[in-house]
Structure 1
């Protein structure tokens, strides 16, 4: 009888140790995309425009909208070759559309949500970005220039000069990594976009 009580006590103690260890592990474990520890910018071979009118003519879809999720919570896609070398990366970003400024004929008149592709992604705490692209910020209403790819998905074009925040405070916070020259170029381009679409 004593042996059974000791065995039961030992089993209960072991179970408690295992449960405590599991809870500690789970509480300390972070999801692969839960934080950004490192940023790697890679060169991309993309078409860029230095004039708003040319960008607006080239874009198939121009909307005022905002990302609905935090960057770390979005669908990050990274593909690799057989040898493990990175092949491509992007993020599928869900946006809410508040206004359509330009659209192709086949774009639904009353569409209010869209998943777009951004040239940035997150893998194991490292953010990979094309040409220092800074992702759309959650709830930051912006003018977004888009083009449909060969798979029928809309992707943001013109890198950092393909989206322009309508809220100056949010815009400055998201562009902290820009050089003074890049900030100046962005500001000039942004003012031209606001003027073109009568948003100032």
Structure 2
């Protein structure tokens, strides 16, 4: 009888150890993993600094107040459950208004075309046109216009924000040559003076 109880206790301990190991593996290796998905989007692109500046309603220099994970996520789905739209609202500490109404910069929340949401298979980061999120503590020159909901959105996708202090190494993105050209044009123009 004592032998049977020891055997049963050993089997239960092994089963619990396997369940714990499997749960830990799922949580750390799958549930918390991040899969990047890049989605194409219809947007108006501005190939020059002049066109970008002219078509922006608001141009500011500022920094995000929160880490990306702590920002407000906008997620909407179609009636069949498929993802319709995803974005992140980023609160900006505005240092300087270059163009546009200064009163709009109080408590400015910028609609960024990127978002992360949790699934059973892990986190999915969806970015439109290779957009990378602005980083807390980094300083940016940001070109904005109001979207159909009246929210300020980054225009020109990845080439609508420029890291000014060199602290965001992802900012140049895939089309870094074009973005560098636009930024150089803006820096040498009267727009940023």
TM-score between the two structures when normalised by the length of structure 2: 0.76
Is 2:156 the counterpart of 1:158?
yes
Structure 2: runs of 5 or more not aligned: 1-22
CA displacement, residues 10-63 of structure 1 (integer Å, 9 cap, x when unaligned): xxxxxxxxxxxxxxx9xx978xxx966111000100111001111111100000
CA displacement, residues 157-179 of structure 1 (integer Å, 9 cap, x when unaligned): 000110011112x24x2247x34
Is 2:183 the counterpart of 1:186?
no
2-structure distance, mates of 1:66, 1:144:
10
2-structure distance, mates of 1:155, 1:99:
17
Is 2:125 the counterpart of 1:132?
no
Q: How does 1:95-110 map to 2 (within 5 A)?
A: 95-104=92-101, 107-108=102-103
Structure 1: runs of 5 or more not aligned: 1-24
In structure 1, the partner of 2:43 is 46
User: Contact 2:162/2:171 (CA < 8 Å) preserved in 1?
Assistant: no
3-state SS, counterpart of residue 69 of structure 2:
helix
Q: How does 1:18-167 map to 2 (within 5 A)?
A: 37-104=34-101, 107-108=102-103, 111-124=105-118, 125-167=123-165
User: Contact 1:98/1:112 (CA < 8 Å) preserved in 2?
Assistant: no
- Go from structure 1 to structure 2 and tell me whether the alpha carbon gap of 1:35 and 1:115 turns closer, same or farther (over 3 Å shift): farther
What displacement does 1:151 show? 2.0
1-structure distance, mates of 2:27, 2:69:
16
User: Contact 1:66/1:97 (CA < 8 Å) preserved in 2?
Assistant: yes
Q: Which runs of 4+ in 1 moved over 3 A?
A: none
What displacement does 1:112 show? 4.5
User: Contact 1:67/1:136 (CA < 8 Å) preserved in 2?
Assistant: yes
- Go from structure 1 to structure 2 and tell me whether the alpha carbon gap of 1:163 and 1:36 turns closer, same or farther (over 3 Å shift): farther
- Go from structure 1 to structure 2 and tell me whether the alpha carbon gap of 1:138 and 1:83 turns closer, same or farther (over 3 Å shift): same
Aligned-CA RMSD value: 2.3
User: Contact 1:147/1:156 (CA < 8 Å) preserved in 2?
Assistant: yes
What displacement does 1:186 show? 1.7
TM-score between the two structures when normalised by the length of structure 1: 0.73
Aligned length: 162
1-structure distance, mates of 2:80, 2:180:
42
